[in-house]
Chain A
Amino acid sequence: MCLAVPGKVVAVEDGSDPLTGLIDFGGVRKQACLEYVPDVRVGEYVIVHVGFALQRLDEESALASLQLFEELGLLEEEFGDAWQQAAREAGEPAPAGAPESGSEAR
């Protein structure tokens, strides 16, 4: 979770509070808070960490990082089902009540 993952801004919700956009991380799309990069535009790449865009990044660097993170399994870790991962790790079934998707609320 210390890594920030690069992604492409595919939509900005004008007037949203906090300022929010849709980011494409190599196929996985997630909402992210854009309050810390308020001037960002659709089509630009940003570094996103725990749902917050922290800096802009050029496209070439972003695509190279995405490829690396995929190779390292970090995209699955970041966006996959955390309960399933933890269950595999523990050698046990996921606890009852754990959602099928990895994260809540959004």
Chain B
Amino acid sequence: MKYIDEFNDPELARRLLDEIRTTATRPWALMEVCGGQTHSIIRHGIDQLLPEQVELIHGPGCPVCVTPLDVIDKALEIAARPEVIFCSFGDMLRVPGTDRDLFRVKGEGGDVRVVYSPLDALELARRNPDRQVVFFAIGFETTAPANAMAVHRARREGLGNFSLLVSHVRVPPAIEAIMTAPACRVQGFLAAGHVCSVMGTAEYPGLADRFGVPIVVTGFEPLDILEGIRRTVRQLELGEHRVENAYPRAVRDDGNPAAVRMIEEVFEVTDRNWRGIGPIPASGWRLSEAFRAYDAEHRFDVAGIRTEEPAECRSGEVLQGLIKPTECAAFGTTCTPRTPLGATMVSSEGACAAYYLYRRMNAPATQGARPAAEEMNPVA
């Protein structure tokens, strides 16, 4: 119980853990969908504090990790063009494509810019009318409203030099894919709080019914995660499978209707490949017909790029909860944050990077598990 003293309210954390311990009479396997939750769980050793019966399986909820290799390669090809200013969030810089990454493209002379918001990329397009400005529009439902508004405004302003390289993904079809996989062990879900801040909870009751799994909308703080686990285990023990909102201070049942309207105006549902996992039907968004002219894949004719994952990288199995990062032979040897084989080792929301930072020696939770001070900054 070394970590528990670092919780905001250690006494409440102990009470929640005690209740989970006394409630769980059988083994249960829960999946936290969100990469931010994975990071928090590993950093605080929550998985190690739980009773043996309760296992946390890390889900595919890291947008950087699931962006497919062929999309990264398309980004690299577009970014290398002399007429292009390629804009990305900072956490995409080191995601490996087939033979390089955006950091390398910048070193080779490509005009790659890091932006905080897609509106920053839009501003670059206004200021550089003689250049093509391309924004790398990845992310889950949390990010889609921002990207949708950027392209909506570009069309309104008639900006002909702005486009999006879109690789948006949606959580509910991923849950469905996980539950229908033959090796699935997941019995309950901690749903991603900020995704639900946008989308609300309406997409989840059908999944809970169909697969007989509790789905508890959960926040990111350690106590939020313990509360989500407590509620999920309680439902499982009672034989229930409902949607519960354990993060009501940030999640309304109807989400943010204005943001959802903007997403629906700009994007349409499409099949998407997930890095390491493969195609999941209806699991993503692409630009709808009215905005298709702003699709960088077509503007730069890279739609034909197809690539293969490196065979030794098992990040797909990690993303599906089939193995833990430490079960991969490459983990910590040929694959480290400095030389990542897969995106799960790049992003701080990736399970492999979280394990590397906080449990790199595969030591027991109570000793040697904390990173040195210079490693405290994730993926730094």
| Binary flags per residue of A46-79, CB closer than 8 Å to B gives 1, else 0 | 0101111011011001001101100111101101
| Binary flags per residue of B119-134, CB closer than 8 Å to A gives 1, else 0 | 1110110010000000
Interface residues of B in 185-225 (CB under 8 A from A): 192, 194, 197-198, 219-222
Q: Please state if B90 and A73 are interface contacts (CB–CB under 8 Å).
A: no
What number of A residues sit within 8 Å (CB to CB) of B?
53
Q: Is B139 positioned at the interface, with any CB of A under 8 Å from its CB?
A: yes
9-residue interface stretch from B33-41, B49-57, B278-286, B324-332: B33-41
Specify which of A1, A47, A83 is in contact with B143 (CB 8 Å cutoff): A1
Q: Please state if B119 and A97 are interface contacts (CB–CB under 8 Å).
A: no
Specify which of B43, B61, B149, B251 is in contact with A72 (CB 8 Å cutoff): B43
Given A104-B113, A105-B115, A55 and B338 contact (CB-CB distance below 8 Å): no
Q: Give the most central of B36, B61, B146, B348: most A CB within 10 Å.
A: B146
Q: Please state if A47 and B103 are interface contacts (CB–CB under 8 Å).
A: no
Q: Is A86 positioned at the interface, with any CB of B under 8 Å from its CB?
A: yes
Q: Is A42 positioned at the interface, with any CB of B under 8 Å from its CB?
A: no
Q: Please state if A97 and B118 are interface contacts (CB–CB under 8 Å).
A: no
Distance in angstroms between the alpha carbons of A55 and B249 in the assembled complex: 9
Distance in angstroms between the alpha carbons of A8 and B349 in the assembled complex: 25
Q: Chain B: interface secondary structure? A: mixed
Q: Please state if B90 and A86 are interface contacts (CB–CB under 8 Å).
A: yes
Specify which of A3, A87, A89 is in contact with B194 (CB 8 Å cutoff): A3
Beyond known contacts A87-B103, A97-B111: 15 more, CB 8 A cutoff:
A1-B63, A36-B145, A50-B89, A50-B146, A52-B146, A55-B250, A55-B256, A72-B348, A73-B380, A85-B90, A89-B338, A90-B103, A96-B107, A104-B115, A105-B124
Q: Please state if B221 and A65 are interface contacts (CB–CB under 8 Å).
A: yes
Chain B interface size range: 35 or more
Q: Give the most central of B36, B127, B139: most A CB within 10 Å.
A: B36
Q: Please state if B149 and A2 are interface contacts (CB–CB under 8 Å).
A: no
Residues of chain A having any CB pair with chain B under 8 Å: 1-4, 18, 30, 32-33, 35-38, 47, 49-52, 54-55, 57-58, 61, 64-65, 67-68, 71-74, 76-77, 79, 82-83, 85-92, 95-99, 102-106
Q: Is B298 positioned at the interface, with any CB of A under 8 Å from its CB?
A: no
Q: Is B342 positioned at the interface, with any CB of A under 8 Å from its CB?
A: no
CB distance from B188 to the nearest CB of A (A): 21
Q: Please state if A2 and B378 are interface contacts (CB–CB under 8 Å).
A: no
Distance in angstroms between the alpha carbons of A101 and B139 in the assembled complex: 23
Tell me which residues across on chain A come within 8 A of B113, comparing CB atoms.
99, 104
Q: Please state if B43 and A33 are interface contacts (CB–CB under 8 Å).
A: no
Specify which of B120, B249, B252, B376 is in contact with A51 (CB 8 Å cutoff): B120
Tell me which residues across on chain B come within 8 A of A50, comparing CB atoms.
89, 116-118, 139, 143, 146
Tell me which residues across on chain B come within 8 A of A58, comparing CB atoms.
249
Specify which of B61, B146, B250 is in contact with A61 (CB 8 Å cutoff): B250
Q: Please state if A73 and B376 are interface contacts (CB–CB under 8 Å).
A: yes
Q: Please state if A33 and B107 are interface contacts (CB–CB under 8 Å).
A: no
Interface residues of B in 241-269 (CB under 8 A from A): 249-252, 256, 258-259, 262
Task: Give the top 5 A-B pairs by smallest Cβ distance, nearest first.
Answer: A51-B117, A82-B90, A103-B116, A105-B120, A95-B107
CB distance from B142 to the nearest CB of A (A): 5
Specify which of B43, B120, B258 is in contact with A103 (CB 8 Å cutoff): B120
Specify which of A18, A72, A90 is in contact with B378 (CB 8 Å cutoff): A72
CB distance from B251 to the nearest CB of A (A): 7
Which A residue sits closest to B260, measured CB to CB?
A: A36
Specify which of A3, A30, A96 is in contact with B116 (CB 8 Å cutoff): A30
Tell me which residues across on chain A come within 8 A of B90, comparing CB atoms.
77, 82-83, 85-86, 102-103
Tell me which residues across on chain A come within 8 A of B258, comparing CB atoms.
35-36, 38
